[in-house]
């Protein structure tokens, strides 16, 4: 039994005893006991009333004067309230500091509620996104940033995605958006100014495209002359061998220049071509014929399986380049008399173009880096086979434009399978 309860019970006992004695003298013990109970109840009700009044009107003030167990209860409530107030002040301080630091950021931070309406933003958001304090509160963010790409990103984007768009506030400025979902479909939007990065990227792209373009003419002239002089009986064998090597190297340089130009074109955002249905049966049969002619000495068995009636919506020439790169790689990296299978198939969600070979395969540590430009597992072997180191980078970019991804599975000395996975939206 707690001390409080003991004290309360002894208080009741004294009261009952006192009234019982008076009642005994007045010859009415039972009635006096009832009176004692009524007094006791009355006292409790009075305390209860005071406590209620205090809690209702001024709970922050010191509690009123109470008796017995009620005094203890009031003191406990008062202590708890004081603690909670301190914790609240502490929390508000932390929130205030967090707000101040978020406001000082260069990145725009925007809180959007579950209905897509603006809830809070920092000062960088006013500068970068043009939100106005006072007027834009509670407005739908998609009414303010109306770019369809942003609306799609806002509806479906995840923390892993990032969207790059021209600024709708400042000309020639670029912003990158990132989104994080939390709570009940609430969203935290972060926007960065990436103009400088974009400019540098553009300079790099332009430089590569211009250099490649400028190299084209001299290379054409050189190969023209080499073509004329090669295998000419007037020259000694030594000179002819030199011409042969010159022809090989100019061919390599032409391949490199062509691949670089193709990559530049694929990277540039301005040239958007219209997607059209691509007849996969025809395309893959053409590619098979080209593959048979690519290195006939190797006598590979090259098979095409069309297991899906679906057509691909896309840019046929780019898709041809990508698939052709995968097929020529399979030919290059498979020893003579190998088997190469090209398959077009689909399931409920995706369509797959896979190129499977039983060639030299790739060690697992190289696989994540294969689509980087100029990354080669074995540079000497790649150069010997006429590779530029850009083939898989081209494949990656073409697939990116078709919202597809490249899966690579391979085992050293067993073979490799490169699979292009196309989403439903790219199929008809
Ligand atoms: P490359 O012009 O060197 O072939 P790619 O970008 O096409 O450049 O390929 C990058 C590297 O990936 C190649 O150098 C090669 O080592 C490896 N690779 C690509 N395809 C295959 C394959 N089918 N089998 C084995 N290795 C491959």
pLDDT of residue 157: 80
pLDDT, tens only, 179-237 = 999 988 899 999 999 999 999 988 998 999 999 999 999 999 999 999 888 877 888 88
Max Cα separation, the chain? 153
The low-confidence residues of the chain, meaning pLDDT below 70, are 1, 269-272
Q: Is the CB of 376 under 6 A from ligand 1?
A: yes
Residue 124: C-alpha distances to residues 1, 131, 188, 195, 427 (Å) = 62, 9, 14, 15, 42
Token pair in block for residue 170? 């400042």
Nearest 5°: CA angle at 231, between 225 and 232? 75
Distance 329 CA to ligand 1 centre (A): 6
pLDDT of residue 231: 75
pLDDT of residue 113: 93
pTM: 0.68
pLDDT of residue 396: 96
| Strand ranges of the sheet holding 186-193, from the earlier edge strand across to the other edge | 118-121, 108-112, 186-193, 174-182, 162-166
Shortest-distance Cα residue to atom 2 of ligand 1? 387
pLDDT, tens only, 359-377 = 999 999 999 999 999 998 8
Exposed, middle or buried, 29 (CB in 10 Å: 0-12/13-18/19+)? middle
Nearest 5°: CA angle at 33, between 29 and 38? 150
Q: How far apart are CA 144 and CA 64, in angstroms?
A: 55
Q: Is the CB of 329 under 6 A from ligand 1?
A: yes
- For a pocket test of ligand 1, which of 382, 408, 413, 419 has the largest count of ligand atoms closer than 8 A to its C-beta? 382
Distance 376 CA to ligand 1 centre (A): 6
**Runs of H (alpha helix) within 164-236:** 195-229
């Amino acid at each position: 039994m707690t001390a409080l309860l003991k004290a309360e019970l002894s208080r009741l006992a004294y009261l009952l005893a006192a009234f019982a004695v008076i009642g005994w003298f007045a010859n009415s013990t039972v009635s006096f006991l009832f009176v004692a109970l009524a007094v006791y109840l009355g006292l409790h009700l009075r305390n209860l009333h005071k406590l209620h009044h205090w809690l209702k009107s001024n709970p922050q003030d010191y509690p009123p004067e109470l008796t017995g167990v009620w005094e203890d209860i009031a003191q406990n409530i008062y202590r708890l309230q004081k603690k909670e107030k301190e914790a609240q002040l502490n929390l508000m301080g932390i929130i205030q500091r967090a707000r101040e630091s978020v406001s000082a950021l260069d990145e725009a931070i925007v809180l959007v509620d579950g209905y897509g309406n603006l809830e809070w933003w920092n000062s960088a958001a006013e500068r970068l996104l043009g939100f106005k304090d006072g007027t834009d509160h509670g407005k739908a963010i998609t009414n303010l940033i109306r770019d369809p790409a942003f609306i799609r990103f806002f509806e479906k984007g995840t923390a892993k995605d990032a969207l790059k768009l021209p600024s709708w506030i400042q000309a020639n400025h670029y912003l990158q958006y990132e989104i994080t979902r939390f709570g009940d479909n609430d969203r935290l939007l972060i926007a960065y100014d990436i103009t400088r990065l974009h400019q540098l990227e553009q300079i790099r792209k332009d430089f590569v495209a211009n250099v490649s373009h400028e190299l084209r003419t001299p290379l054409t002239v050189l190969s023209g002359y080499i073509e004329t002089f090669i295998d000419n009986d007037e020259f000694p064998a030594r000179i002819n061998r030199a011409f042969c090597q010159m022809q090989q190297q100019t061919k390599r340089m032409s391949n490199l220049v062509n691949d670089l130009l193709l990559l530049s074109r694929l990277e540039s955002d301005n040239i958007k071509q219209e997607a059209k249905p691509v007849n996969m049966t025809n395309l893959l049969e053409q590619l098979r014929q080209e593959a048979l002619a690519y290195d006939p000495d190797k006598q590979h068995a090259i098979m095409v399986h069309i297991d899906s009636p679906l057509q691909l919506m896309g840019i046929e020439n780019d898709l041809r380049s990508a698939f052709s790169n995968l097929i020529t790689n399979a030919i290059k990296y498979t020893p003579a008399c190998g088997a190469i299978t090209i398959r077009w198939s689909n399931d409920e969600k995706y369509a797959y173009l896979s190129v499977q070979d039983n060639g030299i395969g790739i060690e697992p540590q190289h696989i994540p880096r294969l689509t980087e430009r100029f990354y080669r597992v074995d540079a000497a072997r790649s150069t010997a086979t006429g590779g530029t180191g850009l083939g898989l980078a081209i494949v990656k970019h073409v697939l990116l434009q078709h919202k597809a991804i490249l899966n690579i599975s391979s085992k050293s000395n067993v073979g490799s399978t490169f699979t292009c996975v196309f989403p439903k939206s790219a199929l008809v």
